Amino acid sequence: MSDAPEQVDDSPINRSTINQLSVEQLDAFLDGIRVRRLQIVQKLEKVAKVKADDAELTVYLRFERAHKQAMKLLDKLAAEEAKAELVVNKCRVLAMEME
């Protein structure tokens, strides 16, 4: 018996079984699985981030549109308040003239 690792014949015609693999080969096999899983998880995280960014952008655009509408209404309100102030001042002047 020698301490050298046994070479496993793994070819498309003669496939090796998991029982024939050495500990190092099994570790390499598991590392490959873990790397592929990690790549899938990273891709899914990127997709989730893009979707979250898209949702955030959509909400921001809706907010921006509503904010513009509110600002337009506030500008109209300010203009109407100015008109009302002029009419009230005119009434006040006329009331003082009537006294």
Whole-number Å distance between alpha carbons of 21 and 27: 10
24 within some domain: yes
Domain residues for the domain of 73 are 18-98
Residue 29 and residue 21 in contact, taking contact as beta carbons nearer than 8 Å:
yes
42 within some domain: yes
12 within some domain: no
Domain total in the chain: 1
8 within some domain: no
pLDDT of residue 10 exceeding 70: no
pLDDT of residue 21 exceeding 90: no
Q: How confident is the model at residue 1 (pLDDT cuts 50, 70, 90)?
A: very low
pLDDT of residue 6 exceeding 70: no
Query: pLDDT digits over 28-52, tens only?
Result: 989 999 999 999 999 999 999 999 9
